[in-house]
């Protein structure tokens, strides 16, 4: 254990508030490491920025302008874990802003195999680039990287957490919130709505971290719908209790919650986290899938989300229903990441100043 490891252990035990501060630069979000950094105010700002960016994205001159903003900067995508979706979403987000990109997707080509410490690897990568986006098995990896650079580098670059272990995946939470806000933009917004989660709520980090962010909205009610083996853990419920957020836990079937849900957030069974091989497969989840038949029981203005990849949690017949928002959820993921990177590099004014009046408002 080097003295850096020791120092980081001390930092790890700091309060969330202390950490949020460490991840800021000049009082503004700089590293994007944990969902807790996303205040309601930041979420609203990123929401507006994303909407504006999407309209710019419909114009060649809009895209060409965006492509000049960070044309002098370089990003590094350091993806220790396989992930095509998050990877491609970030990569294309970088390209929209003109960032040049380099990638490490195969850990076996990394210097870490030659015995290099993680800290040395990060400091080296960061020295070539202006932004590091990372995904890793180690739940502390992104936090470690941000801590190291902010503490020791005289040229710290922002770190964005693209998913670390089973823990945090803040840009997924961001895109989910954006999609919810967008889906209800003609229904008075997300405040006051009921969001039902269905599937593997125990192990899926997306449902967990989205539940956390929904606390930032007023009068949101949550429904947790899963067989008892996959139900949400008590720590989340306790957190909701403490904040006074209303929720309901149902273990019967997805249909039993459809009449009350404004949004239905489906997730797949995370059997890659099975402790005993096959333990998930013996649990009956047949009643926790959405079929074409279920559409009849949903509210007319409901929104169906899924972080994808999906297996058969949502029948493909539903794909063409206007309530299916999961395709645009994916594309929103790219645009919210453009917004986040632009925000970190202080480009909000330049972007919001671009005239998009000739582009129709978003649907």
Residue 72: which residues within 8 A CB-CB, separation 6 or more?
none
Residue 28 known to be catalytic: no
Kindly state the tokens that stand for 150.
């902010």
| Between 128 and 279, CB nearer to its own copies | 128
Phi and psi at 140, nearest 5°, equal -95, 0
Interface segment toward its own copies; rule CB under 8 A; list 97-105, 191-199, 205-213, 294-302? 97-105
The contact pattern for its own copies, residues 332-361, with x = CB under 8 A and - = no contact, is --x---------------------------
Binders in 253-312 for its own copies, by CB under 8 A:
268, 272, 308-311
- Helix (H/G/I), strand (E/B), else coil: 223: strand
Residue 86 known to be catalytic: yes
Interface segment toward its own copies; rule CB under 8 A; list 18-26, 115-123, 182-190, 196-204? 115-123
Burial of 308 (C-beta count, 10 Å sphere; 0-12/13-18/19+): middle
Residue 135 known to be catalytic: yes
| Between 84 and 218, CB nearer to its own copies | 84
Quickly tell me which residue has 């502390």 as its tokens.
140
Residue 243 known to be catalytic: no
Q: Rounded CA gap, 252 and 333, in Å?
A: 32
Interface segment toward its own copies; rule CB under 8 A; list 125-133, 221-229, 233-241, 293-301? 125-133
What minimum distance in Å lies between the beta carbon of 8 and its own copies? 11
CB 283 within 8 A of CB 229: yes
Q: How far does Cα 195 stand from its chain's mean position?
A: 17
The contact pattern for its own copies, residues 7-46, with x = CB under 8 A and - = no contact, is ----------------------------------------
CB 233 within 8 A of CB 166: no
Q: Which of 135, 202, 203, 289 is catalytic?
A: 135
Q: Rounded CA gap, 159 and 171, in Å?
A: 12
Q: Rounded CA gap, 309 and 318, in Å?
A: 16
What minimum distance in Å lies between the beta carbon of 297 and its own copies? 20
| Maximum distance among all Cα pairs of the chain, rounded to whole angstroms | 61
Kindly state the tokens that stand for 144.
């470690």
Q: Which of 4, 303, 338, 340 binds its own copies (CB under 8 A)?
A: 4
The contact pattern for its own copies, residues 151-190, with x = CB under 8 A and - = no contact, is -x--------------------------------------
Instruction: Tell me which residue of 351, 266, 336, 359 sits closest to 66, measured CA to CA.
Output: 351
DSSP 287: G
Is 244 a binding residue for its own copies by CB under 8 A? The answer is no
Residue 316 known to be catalytic: no
Q: Which of 219, 248, 252, 319 binds its own copies (CB under 8 A)?
A: 319
| Between 217 and 345, CB nearer to its own copies | 345
What minimum distance in Å lies between the beta carbon of 258 and its own copies? 21
Burial of 73 (C-beta count, 10 Å sphere; 0-12/13-18/19+): middle
Kindly state the tokens that stand for 287.
């009643």
Q: Rounded CA gap, 178 and 334, in Å?
A: 11
User: Contact residues for its own copies (CB under 8 A)?
Assistant: 2-4, 60, 63-64, 67, 71-72, 74, 76, 82-85, 87-89, 91-92, 95-96, 100, 102, 104-106, 108-117, 119-121, 123-125, 127-129, 152, 268, 272, 308-311, 315-317, 319-320, 327, 330-331, 334
List, by residue number, the catalytic residues.
85-86, 114, 135, 169
């Amino acid at each position: 254990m080097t003295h850096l490891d020791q120092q980081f252990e001390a930092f790890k035990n700091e309060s969330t508030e202390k950490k949020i501060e460490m991840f800021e630069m000049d009082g503004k979000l700089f590293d994007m490491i944990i969902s807790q950094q996303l205040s309601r105010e930041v979420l609203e700002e990123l929401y507006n920025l994303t909407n504006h960016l999407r309209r710019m994205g419909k114009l060649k001159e809009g895209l060409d302008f965006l492509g000049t903003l960070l044309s002098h900067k370089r990003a590094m995508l350091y993806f220790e874990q396989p992930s095509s979706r998050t990877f491609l979403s970030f990569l294309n987000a970088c390209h929209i802003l003109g960032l040049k990109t380099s990638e490490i997707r195969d850990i076996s080509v990394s210097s870490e195999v030659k015995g290099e410490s993680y800290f040395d690897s990060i400091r080296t990568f960061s020295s070539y680039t202006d932004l590091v986006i990372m995904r890793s098995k180690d739940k502390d990896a992104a936090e470690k990287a941000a801590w190291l650079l902010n503490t020791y580098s005289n040229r710290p670059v922002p770190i964005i957490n693209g998913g670390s272990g089973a823990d945090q995946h803040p840009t997924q939470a961001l895109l989910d919130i954006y999609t919810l806000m967008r889906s209800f933009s003609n229904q008075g917004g997300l405040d006051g709505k009921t969001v039902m989660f269905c599937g593997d709520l125990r192990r899926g980090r997306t449902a967990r971290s989205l539940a956390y962010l929904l606390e930032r909205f007023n009068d949101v009610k949550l429904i947790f719908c899963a067989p008892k083996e996959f139900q949400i853990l008590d720590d989340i419920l306790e957190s909701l209790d403490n904040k006074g957020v209303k929720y309901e836990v149902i273990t019967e079937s997805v249909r039993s919650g459809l009449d009350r849900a404004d949004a239905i957030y489906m997730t797949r069974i995370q059997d890659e986290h099975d402790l005993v091989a096959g333990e998930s497969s013996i649990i009956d989840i047949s009643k926790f899938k959405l079929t074409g038949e279920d559409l009849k029981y949903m509210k007319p203005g409901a929104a169906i989300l899924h972080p994808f990849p999906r297996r058969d949690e949502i029948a493909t017949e539903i794909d063409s229903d206007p309530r299916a928002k999961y395709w645009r959820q994916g594309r929103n993921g790219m645009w919210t990441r453009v917004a986040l990177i632009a925000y970190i590099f202080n480009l909000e004014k330049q972007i919001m100043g671009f005239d998009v009046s000739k582009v129709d408002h978003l649907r």
